[in-house]
Amino acid sequence: MRHVTAPRALAIAMAGVAAASFHPVPLLAQEETSVQPETVDPRWRATTIYFLLTDRFANGDPTNDRSVGREPKGGPLRSFEGGDLKGLTQMIEQGWFNDLGVDAIWTTPVIENVHGFVEEGEWGRTYAYHGYWPKDWTAVDPNLGTEGDFAAMVKAAHGKGLRVIVDVIANHAGPVTPHDPRWPETWVRRKPACDYQSYAGTVDCELSFTLQDMRTGSDAPVALPDFLIAKWRREGRLKRELAELDTFFARTGYPRAPKYYLIKWLTDWVRDYGIDGFRVDTAKHVDPELWGVLKKESAIALAEWRARNPDRIAGDRAFYMVGEVFNHGLLANGQSVGAAYDYGDRIVDFRDHGFDGTINMGFPAHLVMPLPALYRAFDAELATGAFAGRATLNYLASHDDMASYDRPRAKHLESAEALLLAPGGAQIYYGDEIARSLVIPGTKGDATLRSVFDWQKADTDAGRAMLQHWQKLGQFRKRHPAIGAGRHHELAFKPYTFARILNEAALTDKVVVAMTAGTTGPLTIRTGTVYPEGTLLRDSYSGEIARVLAGVVHIANPGRVVLLEAVE
């Protein structure tokens, strides 16, 4: 589904930083309060989100592994592998995500997908294990579990202080198979194929031969598909579903057009279970006006749920919506124009359509830059540049980015540092924390990015060592929103040392970080004027305690990184 033009972005970014000063930036009090109007909550801007393919993460109920006749007859890693909501809940309850310092869990779509398979050319036979081939937006996919399992997962996450973000789709329905009929022509278009040369060639078109493109730009009322009515009748919930639709359309006054059915169905997951946000799939392929309505209705739904569940997770954050917009991101990535996206004949700023932010699709390519230049450039973009006040998510790897960083995982320790200490939000892709390889022999296409989480590896000495590195970085990041949402100030270059300082929306926080990999013996770390003379600091990585004297601290046995925070 990609149309990649990242090299232009990287050239622009490198040209920009090449002219920048490489001297430490002085700390000025007024720099800490450059808050832009209508900024996104800094806790969302500094978030750490764990993204997992539910089918590939943990199997808690083997009895649902072959639901609705799905057999393991796909190409390598193209069938269902057994991961489910019960398995995810078990890992939540065991503290896996809390130990990583994760703020929120992002699951692939949980809605019911097509039951059959598709022959995807050279990629081979593929089932809808990934969740991106919808069949019924109102039900949980049977291979993942039940609505009760979903409710239990969300409740468990909230009980651990974790937000839940669900991947949602409005662009398309899943493919036609012998088990899955075509949607009516009033709902979907069959052509033309997208050519990505214009707005119409990206939005009003069929993204893939495997997908049925929804008519999200239409306001014409349509009847429900016969197959969906028949399905609901068999499942004994037709009367309830129709009554809920009547209530929704009576309240909102929206026409019964495809996009408004989709909005009703998607927001029901918020209203019924209290999920905290959406990650929006294929955002640029849908009429952007739909997303603004989805955000509005999601906020209403979450307020209703919170009123019924005052004892659940603190309702102190607005509903969060982040978009997947390929060829878009920081440092003029791809087709970015400032923070907007350029279709060629139309420029769209997704922030104007309900999004708190977008995924920074250029981060893997940005990592060729020296870390000081990268962090300096990101700080400028996020603090005073085009992306000021917006959320963003950096990532090393993802489920459909064949240009994911370090796919053999040869640089897994420094990758963790670069990601979790970067300005902006951070997306951990399942298995990053144990260096799950993204090069799987025998697979075709994006299946190589989607192997099953190796829990045995996580329990080896090597796995535990990698995991501990991620946990130390992640927990430090969790305690300190200044890392993702604060201003970046360089203090020294041998070793590279910087401060992050946040003073915004009643949040005040500051840290000092030194990148000490490759050094040996005791080190003197410059803290400048970040902490007053005599302040007692803890290196969160080594556990060592030191006092600020003359603007420095002395660390006797530093690890790969020094993570300094005030001792309370």
Residues linked to residue 188 through DSSP beta bridges, in sequence order: 214
What distance in Å separates the CA atoms of residue 272 and residue 242, rounded to the nearest whole number?
Answer: 17
CA angle 402, 76, 458 (to 5 degrees): 75
CA 290 to chain centre: 20
Tokens standing for residue 527: 């803290």
Tokens standing for residue 142: 């049977």
- List, in order, residues 6 or more apart from 146 with CB less than 8 Å away: 85, 140
Hey, which bits of 201-323 come out as E strands?
212-214, 277-280, 320-323
Can you say whether the dihedral through the CA atoms of 43, 45, 48, 54 is positive or negative?
positive
The owner of tokens 């006749």 is 69
Q: Which of 162, 165, 166, 167 shows the shortest CA–CA distance to 312?
A: 162
Tokens standing for residue 124: 């081979």
* DSSP 8-state symbol, 404: -
Q: Which residue in 180, 281, 287, 401 is the catalytic one?
A: 281
95, with CB counted inside 10 A (0-12, 13-18, 19+), is: exposed
What distance in Å separates the CA atoms of residue 169 and residue 565, rounded to the nearest whole number?
Answer: 41
Q: Which residue in 136, 287, 324, 381 is the catalytic one?
A: 324
- List, in order, residues 6 or more apart from 283 with CB less than 8 Å away: 291, 323, 324, 325, 350, 355, 358
Alpha-carbon distance values, 440 to 56, 259, 321, 409, 451 (Å): 14, 38, 32, 12, 8
For 272, half-sphere exposure in the C-beta direction (CA atoms, 13 angstrom radius) is 14
- The DSSP H or E segment spanning 417 is helix 412-420
Q: Are 194 and 210 in contact (CB under 8 A)?
A: no
Q: How many residues does the chain have?
A: 568
- Residue 324 bears catalytic tag: yes
- Provide the annotated active-site residues: 281, 324
